[in-house]
Structure 1
Amino acid sequence: MNTQKYPAFAAGHDLEKIVGFLKDWFAQNGPAAKAVVGLSGGKDSTVAAALCVQALGKERVVGVLMPNGVQAEIADAQAAARHLGIAYRTVNIGKPYQEMLQALTNATGDDGQDFAVNLTPALQQNLAPRLRMAVLYAAAQGIAEGGRVINTCNRSEDYVGYSTKYGDSAGDVAPLAAYTVDEVIAIGDALGLPHELVHKTPADGLCGKSDEDNLGFTYAVLDRYIKTGHCDDEAVQSRIEHLHRCNLHKLRPLPMVER
């Protein structure tokens, strides 16, 4: 049962709070650095990029579009970049993605024998986000004055582990991690972002299904549970709690031996 107290939310107030947080964080961790945002065309990356523009100015925000071969959603990512007036670059991960799968298939052990790697659906779905994060850090290192990678995950996704460890769950600063899906949407509306981007059906772009299809419950149900600890469906509540327990390792610091 989720029993923690959830803080009050007001879109305008929290928008200003996040912008102030980003200004302070960059002042301390990269006064001249650019914010590097992986733009997927969904609400989270669009809102995160817009908040960075508010905090730093559009000249200090760079969007990186990373389709895996041909990807229909890339048009939405381009629309987000144009709306925000930020520079963006496209890095297609399709070829390296296929080459990595081939390399895993051809892996051999130190005895020269084949070392079989089972290319499960989960492996294939999580490989793309990890390649994308490698691209974002390469881009951050390669741009003038350096860059800092923006984590675009929200609290709802993080709560049930709906992210890829060392993929989209990575980054240098996470402006949306304290906010549930409905709150991110409200912030996007307060920013005046295009309705079709902010209210777009959430999908991971990996398996062809929506987030809610994969999770087995809606974000509205999840957000209510996070905030109140209540869920009308015992089976759904049990699944939410199970996913939360199983994925806590994604949220906790890397374990180490204490001396």
Structure 2
Amino acid sequence: MNLNMQKVTEDLVIWIKEQLKSSGGNKIILGISGGKDSSVAAALCALAIGKENVYGVLMPDGIQQDIEYAHTLVETIGINQITLNLENVTSAFKDLLNQAVDEDFVEDITKQTSLNLPPRVRMTLVHALSQSINDARVINTGNLSEKWIGYTTVYGDNTGAFAPLAGLTSDEVMDLGIYLGLPDFLAFKAPSDGLTGKTDEDVIGFSYEVLNKYIRTGEIEDQKIKEKIDHLHKINEFKFKPIPSFPSPLPVIGK
């Protein structure tokens, strides 16, 4: 099932312009990891509103082995860029979490808590910067594959004013990056979160190739993997739904 990349690009550029205008913004800011999602999103935004209006923030947490990929990509796209190391901030948060353990507020700090902390700090920083850049909006760079299984952090990389890549699988995003003329290494760089030292596929336990085929065709050979994907999809749907709000018991007339 192949996409017409020219049409997809043209449609996305129009959509980004419309979403930005409806949000009251005229600039875009996003975190740049060096992976395909943030790179393709940045390139699309540069096409839509001009590279001078796109701001990329590189946010290693200490030493990030693949940070040079991120530098190469932002230089290729030509957007505004800054590198801000989060190590001191995440360390301060960990000190507070450990204090909660010491005072018996929680029994222990889980591995998942530690893994999700940097993405939340990253997006706090990006949103803070957006408020200091007039009319800038933060975009969500996640793709459909990650969304499908909930491989995203609530109030971390799952946030943003709008999500241009949310309808494209990981391999479709990669193909779009190649079409947009991004560096070739983008196609061969294994997706990773830049935090665990592992690839995404090592963490989730199956390949994106299998997942993407299942999403688009419903076909899958390994029943155990199918059950795992279905389970992940079901328990993570809440991440992509509006926050449930109790209806007002009184009339709302100010509309």
Task: Give the counterpart letter for 2:115 in structure 1.
Answer: Q
The runs of at least 4 aligned residues of structure 1 exceeding 4 Å deviation read: none
Aligned to 1:3: none
> Which whole-Å CA distance do the structure 2 matches of 1:176 and 1:120 have between them?
30
Q: 1:139 is matched with which residue?
A: 129
Q: Which residue of 2 aligns with 1:126?
A: 116
- Identity rate of aligned residues, in percent? 43
User: 1:8 Cα deviation (Å)?
Assistant: 7.2
Structure 1 residues 189-204: aligned runs within 5 Å? 189-204=178-193
In structure 1, stretches of 5+ residues that fail to align are 1-6
Output the CA distance in 1 between the equivalents of 2:232 and 2:104. 35
How far off its partner does 1:126 sit? 0.2
What pairs with 1:217-228 in structure 2 (closer than 5 Å)?
217-228=206-217
Cα displacement (A) at 1:200: 1.3
Alpha-carbon separation, structure 2, partners of 1:254 and 1:25 = 21
The whole-number CA distance in structure 1 between the counterparts of 2:17 and 2:63 is 36
Does residue 43 of structure 2 align to residue 50 of structure 1? yes
- 1:1-259 matches, cutoff 5 A: 9-31=3-25, 33-107=26-100, 114-116=104-106, 118-143=108-133, 145-259=134-248
Over 3 Å counting, the alpha-carbon distance change for 1:30 and 1:8 in structure 2 is farther
State how many pairs are aligned.
248
Give the drift of 1:116.
3.2
Return the TM-score normalized by structure 1.
Answer: 0.91
Greater Cα shift, 36-45 or 206-215: 206-215
RMSD: 1.6
Q: Deviation string for 1:199-228 (max 9, x for gaps)?
A: 310011121111111111111110111111
Instruction: Tell me, yes or no, if the aligned pair for 1:11 and 1:183 is still in contact at 8 Å.
Output: no
Moved more, 116-125 or 239-248: 116-125
TM-score normalised per structure 2: 0.93
Q: Which moved more, 1:56-65 or 1:193-202?
A: 193-202
Please give the per-residue CA displacement for 1:74-97, whole angstroms capped at 9, x wherever unaligned. Answer: 111111110011111111110110
1:258 deviates by 2.9
Measure the CA separation in 2 of the matches of 1:198 and 1:85. 20
